[in-house]
């Protein structure tokens, strides 16, 4: 698996796993599985052997499978030995029908991250391996790959709109022009403002944001310009305003469309004269500040309604940048998801991975909350499935396709091309510019068709196999592979 937020299947022969379980039944079961996938299973019969086997070279092992019937004292001895070598090796507790079910059998160790039931299913087994890989990757095992986690310095995406915005930022960043950033809430207006500051010659000076809509009108003047001691009731000491805090740097006035008309007049004067006075003072303070402003409101409509000053609008609107909503740049969703996950990992707030089908489903959603809503969803998934792999079925209902079409079939856009006859036209899937995982796409398509055949055959495997024109035994194997068999068929 790469470091991106999107799940990608790795070649299984590279998998090396320890099994500490005295159960001969479990040892034989997992040996058969690892023989089948051509992985490397190293069986440790008891904790005494573990003291000899767990050495610094253990770092090349992906995970440890730990028998669920091991007593707590033996568990502590083993975990202390393992963690003295490498705390980033994840551990899964093996459970069967005789085990007491424990949804989170961590026993107080952060690297015991889940369980695996015996017998298991292929999808469950693969998910466990990838969950182990994510945990190891995010806890310092091996080189950390990936994109920059400093999301505020980037505007991620491959869409035409995002590339155009990045070009505009490059053009205006190092100038002194006032920039007005327009767009719906959650589209990343502050991200643009921070990038403008970072790529300007003022980058070594402060970047000071202030949300004009979140501060009461009677306090905003003091917040922006500061006040002297005794200027009003409660002013027990002098205080700098945001203009002084941002001296030499950038002042970002967010939600400027919510500013009251009297404050608009005072702000206009400061922009014209580049000076102001603190509340309660008659001393003029010169300011060297670059102004960036943002709003989700239609300021031209506000001017018509006389809730926003036209002269202030033209003073701010020197270089407008309009942020399109996320629903108009769905091509950016995979990269945005990757960056959000990278930032969560950097801040030690957990991690998660998304299957291509899940990403495709997210690309069908309208995103009224834009990038902020996407970030909230990913954080929620990381809480529900820590270091796990999220498929389309794990997403909240509103993110799932409503038309019943498998997300895998939505990955490829259709394009119109000329048919065999020069007078005809036909549609054909188009390979995305960034490419995609063909194996995963075909597996998802096959799984979806099998599910349809079973549904139309009322669950009768023989009838479904006939519809799919394959042998019944072949279909049974595929049902096991995808975890689609009925409970009485689980082996």
What is the tens place of the pLDDT at every residue in 224-277?
A: 998 888 777 777 788 888 999 999 999 999 999 999 999 999 999 999 999 988
Task: Quote the CA–CA distance of 359 and 390 in Å, as a whole number.
Answer: 9
Domain of residue 198 covers 160-326
Average pLDDT over residues 341-370: 86
Same domain, yes or no: 132 and 182: no
Q: What is the pLDDT of residue 101?
A: 55
Examine residue 485 and state whether it is found in any structural domain, yes or no.
no
CATH of the domain at 86: 3.40.50.2300
Domain membership of residue 421 (yes or no) is: no
> Do residues 182 and 133 both lie within one domain?
no
Examine the fold and report which residue of 326, 357, 382 is the final residue of a domain before the chain moves on: 326
Q: Taking 90 as the threshold, does the pLDDT of residue 210 lie above it?
A: yes
Q: Are residues 114 and 198 both part of a single domain?
A: no
10 Å CB burial of residue 292 (0-12, 13-18, 19+) is: buried
pLDDT value at residue 482: 72
In 3D, which of 438, 426, 468 has the Cα closest to residue 451? 468
Residues 112 and 199 in one domain: no
129 and 167, same domain (yes or no): no
Residues 179, 256, single domain; the answer is yes
**Mean pLDDT value across residues 377-389:** 88
Which CATH number do you get for residue 227?
A: 3.40.50.300
Looking at the domain assignment, is residue 69 inside a domain? Answer: yes
Shared-domain flag, residues 168 and 127: no
Confidence of residue 387 (pLDDT cuts 50, 70, 90): confident
Nearest alpha-carbon partner for 89 in 345, 387, 353, 381: 387
Are residues 24 and 74 located together in one domain of the fold?
Answer: yes
pLDDT score for 379: 92
Picking from 326, 346, 375, the residue at the C-terminal end of a domain is 326
DSSP 398: G
Q: Which of 91-95, 143-147, 318-322 has the lowest mean pLDDT?
A: 143-147
| Residues 177 and 312 placed together within one structural domain of the fold | yes
143: pLDDT strictly greater than 50: no
Average confidence score pLDDT of the chain: 80
Of 273, 300, 326, the position where a domain reaches its end is: 326
Asked if residue 146 belongs to a domain, the reply is no
Whether 302 contacts 257, CB under 8 Å: yes
Q: What is the mean pLDDT of residues 368-385?
A: 92
C-beta of residue 147 within 8 angstroms of C-beta of residue 6: no
Q: DSSP string spanning 14-75? A: G-EEEEE---HHHHHHHHHHHHHTT-EEEEE-SHHHHHHH--GGGGG--EEEEETT--HHHH
Domain membership flag for residue 218: yes
pLDDT band at 432 (very low <50, low <70, confident <90, very high): low
pTM: 0.61
Q: Residues 281, 201: one domain?
A: yes
Could you tell me if residue 374 is inside a domain?
no
Task: Give the total number of structural domains in the chain.
Answer: 2
Same domain flag for 134 and 172 = no
pLDDT at 154 over 60: no
Residue 229, domain member (yes or no): yes
Q: Do 234 and 319 sit in the same domain of this protein?
A: yes
- 146: confidence class by pLDDT, cuts 50, 70, 90: very low
Is residue 200 a part of any domain in this protein? yes
Backbone angles phi and psi of 19, in degrees to 5: -130, 110
């Amino acid at each position: 698996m790469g470091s991106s937020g999107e799940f990608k299947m790795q070649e299984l022969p590279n998998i090396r796993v320890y099994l500490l379980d005295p159960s001969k039944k479990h040892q034989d079961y997992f040996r058969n599985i690892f023989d089948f996938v051509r992985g490397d299973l190293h069986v440790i019969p008891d904790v005494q052997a573990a003291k000899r086997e767990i050495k610094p070279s253990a770092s090349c092992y992906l995970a440890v499978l730990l028998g669920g019937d091991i007593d707590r004292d033996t568990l502590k001895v083993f975990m202390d030995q393992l963690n003295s070598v490498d705390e980033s090796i994840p551990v899964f507790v093996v459970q069967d029908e005789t085990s007491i079910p424990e949804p989170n059998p961590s026993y107080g160790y952060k690297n015991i991250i889940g369980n695996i039931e015996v017998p298991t299913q292929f999808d469950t087994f693969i998910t466990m391996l990838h969950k182990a890989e994510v945990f190891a990757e995010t806890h310092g095992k091996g080189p950390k790959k990936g994109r920059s986690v400093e999301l505020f310095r980037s505007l991620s995406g491959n869409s035409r709109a995002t590339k155009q915005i990045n070009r505009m930022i490059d053009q205006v960043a190092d100038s002194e022009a006032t920039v007005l950033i327009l767009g719906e809430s959650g589209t990343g207006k502050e991200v643009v403002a921070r990038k403008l500051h970072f790529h300007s010659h003022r980058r070594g000076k402060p970047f000071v944001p202030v949300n004009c809509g979140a501060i009461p009108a009677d306090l905003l003047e003091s917040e922006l310009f500061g006040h002297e001691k005794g200027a009003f009731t409660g002013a027990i000491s002098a205080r700098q305003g945001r203009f002084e805090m941002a001296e030499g740097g950038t002042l970002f006035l967010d939600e400027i469309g919510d500013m009251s008309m009297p404050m608009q007049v005072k702000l206009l004067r400061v922009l014209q004269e580049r000076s102001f006075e603190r509340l309660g003072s008659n001393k003029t303070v010169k300011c060297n500040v670059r102004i960036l402003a943002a709003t989700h409101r239609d300021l031209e409509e506000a001017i018509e309604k006389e809730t926003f000053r036209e002269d202030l609008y033209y003073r701010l609107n020197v270089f407008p940048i309009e942020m399109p909503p996320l629903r108009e740049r769905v091509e950016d969703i995979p990269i945005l998801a990757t960056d959000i996950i990278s930032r969560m990992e950097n801040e030690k707030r957990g991690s998660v991975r998304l299957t291509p089908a899940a990403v495709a489903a997210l690309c069908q959603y309208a995103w009224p909350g834009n990038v902020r809503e996407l970030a909230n969803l990913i954080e929620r998934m990381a809480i529900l499935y820590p270091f796990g792999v999220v498929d389309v079925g794990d997403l909240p209902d509103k993110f799932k396709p409503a038309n019943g079409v498998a997300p895998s079939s939505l990955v490829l856009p259709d394009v119109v091309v000329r048919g065999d006859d020069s007078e005809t036209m036909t549609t054909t899937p188009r390979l995305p510019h960034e490419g995609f995982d063909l194996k995963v796409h075909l597996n998802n398509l096959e799984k979806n068709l099998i599910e349809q055949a079973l549904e139309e055959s009322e669950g009768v495997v023989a009838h479904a196999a006939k519809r799919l024109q394959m042998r019944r035994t072949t279909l049974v194997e595929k049902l096991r592979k995808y975890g689609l068999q009925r409970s009485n068929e689980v082996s």
